[in-house]
Amino acid sequence: MNDFLEVKSISMHFGGLAAVENVSFHVNRGEIVSLIGPNGAGKTTVFNMLTGVYKITAGEMYFEGHDLREMIPQNIVKIGISRTFQNVRLFSKMRVIENVLVGTHIHTKYSFFESLFRVGRFKKEEAKLEAKAIGILNSIGMGDIVDSFANSLPYGEQRKVEIARAIATDAKLILLDEPAAGMNPAESAELLRFIRELCDKGYTILMIEHDMNVVMNVSDRIYVLDHGRLIADGRPEEIANNPKVIEAYLGEQKHVED
């Protein structure tokens, strides 16, 4: 059994609709794994199941020995799984640095009263968190906009702040939900480089992505979902030539007579 992330035949039913049906996969430490599939395949639902937003209907999920089924989102982030969202969900009226600081929330080591009376420990801990947040922002080239309010940033930048916020939780596994959406080719190339860098730093990444350029270039392994079912898995080059995958994306090949 894999000791990092192991998902065994999970299902998610909404009333009569099976959004995810009997899906199994695993992620090894240090890998970049992609989850792809046409719209409505249930990819984001899988993320919501992993992070505890939905209570799964059936199946088992383990992360480093913790049973994820029994956990609330707040505890799942504590054991080291953090995520970004398909449609950016930043704290729009807060500054960039404050957004990242929210990511450090679970590592705060001072109490409410200590913060109210600004005791030494509060200042020391707060400085550590600030330095950490600025360090993360610097490393993704956003050091000069720490003061900006999240809602004043262009879309691509907002996505990067979201990733920074996820990193700030000290997650071991980062779930990226369509990180390249809305980015131009230059930006997504930059993102590609950034994701690889994250991997080199020891983060493990599970990512949903539609941009095949990003997926094929960066992934170690790929899982393909269609209509809530896993239809293929393997290395990028295997997936690119898999007839089932091509069918899911482009439809069945029909023989047209001349």
Partner 1 sequence: MNRILKTTESLCYKYRYILLAAFIGLIVAVPFLPISRVIMRLLIMIALYSMLGMGLNVLTGYVGLVSLGHAGFYGIGAYVCALLQVRLGVDFWIALLVSGLFTALIGFLSGLPSLRLSGSYLSIVTLGFCEIVQMILKQWESVTNGNYGIRNIPKPVFFGMELNLQNGGFLVVALVLALLTGLGCLALKKSNTGRAFLAIRDDELAAGMMGIKTSRYKILAFVISAFITGLAGGFYSELNGYIEPTNFVFNISILILSVVIVGGLGTVRGMIFGAVVLQLFPEVFRFLNEWRFVVYGLLLVLMMRFRPQGVLGWQSTQPYHISKRTKELLKETVTTKGGIGG
Contact positions vs partner 1 (CB under 8 A): 51, 53, 73-74, 77-78, 82-83, 85, 89-95, 97-98, 101-106, 108, 110, 112, 115-118, 122-124, 126-132, 134-136, 138-140, 146-147, 149, 165, 167-170, 197-198, 201
Measured from the CB atom, the residue of 197 and 247 that comes closer to partner 1 is 197
Measured from the CB atom, the residue of 31 and 125 that comes closer to partner 1 is 125
Measured from the CB atom, the residue of 130 and 187 that comes closer to partner 1 is 130
Q: Closest separation between CB of residue 229 and partner 1, Å?
A: 26
Burial class of residue 257 in the structure, from the number of CB atoms within 10 Å of its CB (0-12 exposed, 13-18 middle, 19+ buried): exposed
In the numeric block, which tokens belong to residue 255? 């023989």
Q: Closest separation between CB of residue 115 and partner 1, Å?
A: 3
Distances (CA, A) of 76 to 67, 81, 159: 10, 6, 22
Measured from the CB atom, the residue of 101 and 208 that comes closer to partner 1 is 101
Grouping H, G, I as helix, E, B as strand and the rest as coil, residue 234 is: strand
Torsion of CA 147, 99, 206, 72, to 10 degrees: 180
**Helix 155-168 with 120-139: angle, nearest 10 deg:** 130
Q: Closest separation between CB of residue 93 and partner 1, Å?
A: 6
